[in-house]
């Protein structure tokens, strides 16, 4: 069989990184450790299976070590020695022969017991105890005929390789150690892509073959072309993750003819320097991402503290706070979502936390309290609103708290009713990621449908034009805060369609300013007409 040297997906955040692949994936299901699961006659063969699995794991480590740079090879070789440890093999054999455990259960238990003993010894051996988790996971995967989806704990800079990463998965990761992402699934507007752009690290999504990249392999990721090199030169220096620093943003807030255009930042945590120094403010604060890892609902005071800290970066500037957008690929544990056959079309966004729900009431109170304590100009919008009635209910709840209400336009029904919705609220913001998903009936996580999420698709542009026209008629702002807003070539088109502000990952803002500099509204309209007139 010829060796695969490269795999290719969609590059969603530029740049290049070289590092060890670290697999993130579903945790391996723990084996059933019931005694007497194996009849006495079958135990010798089952014990042999357990021992053979440990040998296979050791061999796997040894082949990884063969191509690794010296310092990494040393660590992997130590793991191979652990997998070959006679105490471990003896413990596993004994578990099968005398307790009747299955091979999986016997390896699992023996490695767990050995790990505890090493921990008790302290020092270097205790530090290596965690590596036994990797050994036992690999052994169990081998026995089950599954790929080793989880590998050695990431103990240094690495390239995260995953089937897909939901924001909930990433909440558990130490992202400061991640120098690039590669995912098998996802698309340009999946949350993995959004996260990568936020962090400004190279990323390739929708990459068939990513699932076969072994943990520990040295790979190079080219975020611009979508190429993943599985055999970079062995002397290639490993990239240490460091947030890419964007150029400073210089934007006067208007086109060459004086038409005001806001360039705002999408924020989901501590704002970067570009966001807090150069941007006109925040066009989308994804609040759900601030509390994803919370098992219980954050209280009003806890939330207010977090919002206050963020608002303080933007005195005198706009901060558009989005209320909980939970559900589908962003389940918030503390909201307890039901199992739905089709969650993207189910109870998500505003539908999950409508006016009157305790979760929304508490959040609005917290936002109002933080806004009152700072000088930021706080606007509040709801995600996934579908009807003018929902918009009216939400607007009333926000106005009662002295804040300015808006809604996101993410559902075609809302775009079609934009004039009526704008009669209820002070502004709208178009979420092109979801609007494309629902306009084309194409799941934004579906790799095969990525072309339908291309924001240049004329039907999507027509919907944006409708919303832009409704905004102009009402004299109210229309923003775009989906990933489309970060495309510098599309920026003049969006402005020409009637959009008044673009909100994107901070790293994308300087290029947007460059793209718009020198253009007038008439130039932008001409570009919009050309794009709308294109058949595809
Ligand atoms: C969108 O749908 O375009 C959007 C900005 O919201 P999210 O990506 O968080 O769903
Ligand atoms: Mg959305």
**Residues 185, 169: Cα–Cα separation, whole Å:** 14
At residue 243, the pLDDT reads 52
Residue nearest to atom 1 of ligand 1 (CA): 431
Ligand 1 atom with the smallest distance to the CA of 284 is 5
pLDDT digits (tens, 9 = 90+) for 230-276: 988 767 677 766 555 556 788 999 999 999 999 999 988 777 666 66
pLDDT digits (tens, 9 = 90+) for 114-146: 888 887 776 666 656 667 877 888 899 899 987
At residue 466, the pLDDT reads 98
Number of Cβ atoms within 10 Å of the Cβ of 148: 21
CB 5 within 8 A of CB 201: no
Give 199's pLDDT tier (boundaries 50, 70, 90).
confident
Of residues 26 and 119, the one with the higher pLDDT is 119
**Residues 405, 303: Cα–Cα separation, whole Å:** 19
Ligand 1 atom with the smallest distance to the CA of 349 is 10
Does the pLDDT value for residue 383 go beyond 90?
yes
CB 317 within 8 A of CB 280: yes
pLDDT winner (highest mean) among 67-76, 341-350, 492-501: 492-501
Ligand 1 atom with the smallest distance to the CA of 383 is 6
The answer to whether the Cα torsion of 440, 442, 443, 446 is positive or negative is negative
At residue 70, the pLDDT reads 56
- What does DSSP assign to residue 31? P
Give 150's pLDDT tier (boundaries 50, 70, 90).
very low
Closest ligand to the CA of 189: 1
Kindly state the tokens that stand for 343: 């969650």
From the list 191, 222, 313, 453, the catalytic residue is: 191
Of residues 337 and 204, the one with the higher pLDDT is 204
Kindly state the tokens that stand for 59: 């061999």
Give 78's pLDDT tier (boundaries 50, 70, 90).
confident
481 flagged as catalytic? yes
Strands (E), 369-460: 377-382, 404-409, 427-430
Q: Is the CB of 434 under 6 A from ligand 1?
A: yes
At residue 163, the pLDDT reads 79
**Strand ordering across the sheet containing 178-183:** 6-8, 227-229, 218-222, 16-24, 158-162, 178-183, 203-205, 10-13
Average predicted confidence (pLDDT) for the chain: 87
Q: Which of the listed residues 414, 431, 432 should we mutate to test ligand 1's pocket, taking the one with most ligand atoms within 8 A of CB?
A: 431
Does the pLDDT value for residue 83 go beyond 80?
yes
For every residue of 231-242, which 3-state class applies, written as one string? Answer: CCCCCCCCCCCC
pLDDT digits (tens, 9 = 90+) for 171-192: 556 777 888 999 887 777 776 7
Helix (H) or strand (E) holding 178: strand 178-183
Does the pLDDT value for residue 151 go beyond 50?
no
Of residues 357 and 62, the one with the higher pLDDT is 357
| Mean pLDDT, range 432-449, rounded to an integer | 89
Q: Is the CB of 455 under 6 A from ligand 1?
A: no
Kindly state the tokens that stand for 169: 């998965």
Query: Regarding beta strands 318-322 and 281-286, do their DSSP bridges make them parallel or antiparallel, or are they unpaired?
Result: parallel
Residue span(s) of the chain under CATH 3.50.30.10 come to 6-26+150-229
Is domain 6-26+150-229 given the CATH code 3.50.30.10 in the classification?
yes
At residue 149, the pLDDT reads 46
Of residues 415 and 240, the one with the higher pLDDT is 415
Of residues 330 and 181, the one with the higher pLDDT is 181
At residue 439, the pLDDT reads 97
Closest ligand to the CA of 481: 1
CB 210 within 8 A of CB 183: yes
| Mean pLDDT, range 46-53, rounded to an integer | 96
Ligand 1 atom with the smallest distance to the CA of 194 is 8
Alpha helices in 67-211 (DSSP H): 70-83, 86-99, 103-121, 123-128, 131-144, 167-171, 191-199
Ligand 1 center–CA 394 separation, angstroms: 19
Q: Give the phi and the psi of residue 371 in degrees, each rounded to 5.
A: -65, -40
Residues with Cβ within 8 Å of 7's Cβ and at least 6 positions away in sequence, in order, are 207, 208, 209, 210, 213, 227, 228, 230
Does the pLDDT value for residue 164 go beyond 90?
no
Give 328's pLDDT tier (boundaries 50, 70, 90).
confident
The answer to whether the Cα torsion of 62, 64, 65, 66 is positive or negative is positive
CB 4 within 8 A of CB 209: yes
Q: Is the CB of 374 under 6 A from ligand 1?
A: no
Q: Is the CB of 131 under 6 A from ligand 1?
A: no
| Lowest model confidence (mean pLDDT) among 18-27, 296-305, 388-397, 482-491 | 18-27
Number of Cβ atoms within 10 Å of the Cβ of 147: 16
Does the pLDDT value for residue 391 go beyond 70?
yes
Of residues 70 and 235, the one with the higher pLDDT is 235
Does the pLDDT value for residue 345 go beyond 80?
yes
Rounded percentage of the chain residues whose pLDDT exceeds 90: 55
Give 152's pLDDT tier (boundaries 50, 70, 90).
very low
**Among candidate residues 359, 339, 350, the one with its CA nearest the CA of residue 406:** 350
Of residues 63 and 357, the one with the higher pLDDT is 357
At residue 239, the pLDDT reads 72
- What does DSSP assign to residue 536? -
From the list 13, 141, 207, 481, the catalytic residue is: 481
Does the pLDDT value for residue 45 go beyond 90?
yes
CB 532 within 8 A of CB 458: yes
Ligand 1 center–CA 284 separation, angstroms: 9
**Residues 197, 176: Cα–Cα separation, whole Å:** 14
Ligand 1 center–CA 526 separation, angstroms: 28
CB 326 within 8 A of CB 332: yes
Q: How far is CA 498 from CA 342, 397, 407, 467, 519, in A?
A: 33, 28, 17, 8, 15
pLDDT winner (highest mean) among 2-16, 170-184, 351-365, 438-452: 351-365
Closest ligand to the CA of 191: 1
Kindly state the tokens that stand for 427: 């502004």
Residue nearest to atom 4 of ligand 1 (CA): 431
pLDDT digits (tens, 9 = 90+) for 466-510: 999 999 999 999 999 999 999 999 999 999 999 999 999 888 899
Does the pLDDT value for residue 210 go beyond 50?
yes
Of residues 407 and 30, the one with the higher pLDDT is 407
Class of domain 40-144: mainly alpha
At residue 147, the pLDDT reads 67
At residue 314, the pLDDT reads 93
| Mean pLDDT, range 348-375, rounded to an integer | 97
Ligand 1 atom with the smallest distance to the CA of 433 is 3
141 flagged as catalytic? no
Residue span(s) of the chain under CATH 1.10.274.10 come to 40-144
Helix (H) or strand (E) holding 522: helix 521-533
CB 393 within 8 A of CB 425: no
Task: Provide the CATH number for the domain formed by 262-532 in this structure.
Answer: 3.20.20.60
Kindly state the tokens that stand for 324: 């909980």
**Residues 114, 118: Cα–Cα separation, whole Å:** 6
Residue span(s) of the chain under CATH 3.20.20.60 come to 262-532
**Residues 31, 28: Cα–Cα separation, whole Å:** 9
Residue tagged 């040894």 (tokens): 62
């Amino acid at each position: 069989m010829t060796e695969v040297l490269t795999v290719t997906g969609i590059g969603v955040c530029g740049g290049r990184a070289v590092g060890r692949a670290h697999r993130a994936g579903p945790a391996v299901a723990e084996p059933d450790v019931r005694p007497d699961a194996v009849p006495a006659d079958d135990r010798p063969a089952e014990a042999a299976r357990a021992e053979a699995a440990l040998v296979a794991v050791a061999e796997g480590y040894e082949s990884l070590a063969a191509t690794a740079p010296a310092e990494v090879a040393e660590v992997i070789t130590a793991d191979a020695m652990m997998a070959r440890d006679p105490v471990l093999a003896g413990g596993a054999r004994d578990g099968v022969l005398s307790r009747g455990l299955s091979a999986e259960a016997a390896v699992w238990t023996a490695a767990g017991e050995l790990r505890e003993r090493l921990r008790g010894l302290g020092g270097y051996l205790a530090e290596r105890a965690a590596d036994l988790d990797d050994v036992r996971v690999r052994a169990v995967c081998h026995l089950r005929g599954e790929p080793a989806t989880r590998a050695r704990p990431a103990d240094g800079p690495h390239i995260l390789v995953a089937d897909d990463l939901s924001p909930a998965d990433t909440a558990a990761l130490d992202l400061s150690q991640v120098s690039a992402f590669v995912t098998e699934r996802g698309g340009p507007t999946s949350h993995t892509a959004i996260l990568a752009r936020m962090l400004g690290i190279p990323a390739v999504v929708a990459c068939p073959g990513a699932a076969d990249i072994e943990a520990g392999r040295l790979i190079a990721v080219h975020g611009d072309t979508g190429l993943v090199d599985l055999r970079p030169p062995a002397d290639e220096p490993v990239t240490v993750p460091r947030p890419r620093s964007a150029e400073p943003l210089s934007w006067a807030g208007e086109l060459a003819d004086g038409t005001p255009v806001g360039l705002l930042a999408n924020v989901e945590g501590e704002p970067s320097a570009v966001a807090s120094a150069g941007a006109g403010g925040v066009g989308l604060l994804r609040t759900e991402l601030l509390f994803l890892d919370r098992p219980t609902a954050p209280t009003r005071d806890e939330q207010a503290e977090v919002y206050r800290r963020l608002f303080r970066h933007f005195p005198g500037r706009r901060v558009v706070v989005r209320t909980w957008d939970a559900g589908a690929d962003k389940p918030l544990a503390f909201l307890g979502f039901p199992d739905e056959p089709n969650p993207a079309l189910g109870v998500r966004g505003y539908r999950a936390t409508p006016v009157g729900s305790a979760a929304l009431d508490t959040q609005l109170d917290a936002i109002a309290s933080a806004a009152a304590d700072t000088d930021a100009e706080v606007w509040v919008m709801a995600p996934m609103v579908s009807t003018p009635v929902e918009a009216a209910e939400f607007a009333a709840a926000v106005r009662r708290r002295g804040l300015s209400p808006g809604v996101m336009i993410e559902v075609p029904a809302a775009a079609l009713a934009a004039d009526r919705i704008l009669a209820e609220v002070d502004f709208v913001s178009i979420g092109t990621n979801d609007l494309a998903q629902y306009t084309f009936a194409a799941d934004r996580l579906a790799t095969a449908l990525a072309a339908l999420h291309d924001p240049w698709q004329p039907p999507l542009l027509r919907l944006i034009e409708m919303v832009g026209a409704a905004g102009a008629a009402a004299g109210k702002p229309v923003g775009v805060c989906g990933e489309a807003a970060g495309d510098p070539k599309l920026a003049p088109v969006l402005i020409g369609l009637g959009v008044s502000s673009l909100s994107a990952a901070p790293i994308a803002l300087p290029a947007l300013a460059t793209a718009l500099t020198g253009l007038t509204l008439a130039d932008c309209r001409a570009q919009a007409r050309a794009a709308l007139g294109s058949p595809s």
